């Protein structure tokens, strides 16, 4: 009727887009919470993640949880074993050896290329990152130290502006960060900033030989600090981790 305000209902297409956007946001939030729990060591190696239990905790369908778990498995953060379920990976000694050998070889190429394009902006970004690592170490914040340690190596790769290199390194870091979270002694990851600082100093001096040696030694130190003999499996209470 004329003269009256008529409340406009959302058009069907707009409503569908809104519903889809909301669903995507929920999925991303759940994905981030599971990924963070793995990275920060709250989900231990060997922990089983039952779809039905997670669906109940997050208040979503089992099918949506299954898709998210498969996404994390594709990123090698989780392992799906046929007829058994989904688990936080328990890397073997050989798994660790291969991952850190890949890190040593891969970063050697990154450093060699980086020295060809190194400038004050890149060095300033590296120094800023080191400052954040030092703050985390001073606070004894291991979760932040593990995250920032991986981000340091990603920053080296990102400085080259090659999306494929960065993508490959992200996949590699998802595996090594899990190994560190689960098997490295709590205080050990806090000293990584000193080793990173030495690498940056060698880069600043344009000393390729020193930078390569320091990078190689850094990954070897991390590998050697991992205590694969410890038994990290004590089934956590998923309601405590995800119920809040």
pLDDT at 215 over 60: yes
pLDDT tens string 37-71: 887 777 877 889 999 999 999 999 999 999 999 99
Query: Which pLDDT score, from 0 to 100, does residue 86 have?
Result: 95
What lies within 8 Å, CB to CB, of 47 at 6+ separation is 87, 88, 233, 235, 236
pLDDT at 137 over 80: yes
pLDDT at 244 over 70: no
| CA–CA distance, 86 with 172 (Å, rounded to integer) | 20
Question: CA-based angle 59:73:176, to the nearest 5?
Answer: 120
Query: Which pLDDT score, from 0 to 100, does residue 234 have?
Result: 61
Entry pTM: 0.72
HEC secondary structure over the chain: CCCCCCCCCCCHHHHHHHHHHHHHHHHHHHHHHHHHHHHCCCCCCCCECCHHHHHHHHCCCHHHHHHHHHHHHHCCCCEEECCCEEECCCCCHHHHHHHHHHHHHHHHHHHHHHHHHCCHHHHHHHHHHHHHHHHHHHHCCHHHHHHHHHHHHHHHHHCCCCHHHHHHHHHHHHHHHHHHHHHCCCCHHHHHHHHHHHHHHHHHCCCHHHHHHHHHHHHHHHHHHCCCCCCCCCCCCHHHHHCC
The CATH number of domain 12-90+231-242, selected from 1.10.287.3510, 2.120.10.30, 1.10.10.10, 3.30.750.210 = 1.10.10.10
Query: Which pLDDT score, from 0 to 100, does residue 190 have?
Result: 59
Query: Which pLDDT score, from 0 to 100, does residue 16 have?
Result: 52
Per-domain residue ranges of the chain: 12-90+231-242, 93-225
Does the domain formed by 93-225 have CATH 3.40.50.300? no
Identify the residue with better confidence: 85 or 239: 85
């Amino acid at each position: 009727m004329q003269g009256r305000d008529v409340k406009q209902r959302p058009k069907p297409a707009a409503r569908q887009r809104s519903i889809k956007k909301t669903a995507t946001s929920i999925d991303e939030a759940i994905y981030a919470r599971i990924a963070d729990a793995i990275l920060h060591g709250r989900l231990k190696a060997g922990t089983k993640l039952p779809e039905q239990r997670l669906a109940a905790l997050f208040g979503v369908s089992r099918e949506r949880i299954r898709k998210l778990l498969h996404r994390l498995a594709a990123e090698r953060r989780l392992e799906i074993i046929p007829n058994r379920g989904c688990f936080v990976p328990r890397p073997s000694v050989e798994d660790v050896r291969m991952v850190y050998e890949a890190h040593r070889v891969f970063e050697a190429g990154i450093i060699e290329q980086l020295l060809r394009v190194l400038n004050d902006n890149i060095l300033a970004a590296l120094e800023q990152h080191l400052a954040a690592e030092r703050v985390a170490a001073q606070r004894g914040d291991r979760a932040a130290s593990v995250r920032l340690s991986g981000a340091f190596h990603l920053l080296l790769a990102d400085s080259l502006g090659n999306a494929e290199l960065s993508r490959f390194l992200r996949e590699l870091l998802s595996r090594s960060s899990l190994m560190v979270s689960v098997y490295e002694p709590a205080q050990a990851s806090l000293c990584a900033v000193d080793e990173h600082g030495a690498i940056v100093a060698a880069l600043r001096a344009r000393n390729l030989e020193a930078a390569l040696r320091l990078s190689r030694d850094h990954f070897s130190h991390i590998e050697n600090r991992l205590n694969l003999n410890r038994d990290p499996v004590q089934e956590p209470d998923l309601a405590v981790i995800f119920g809040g």
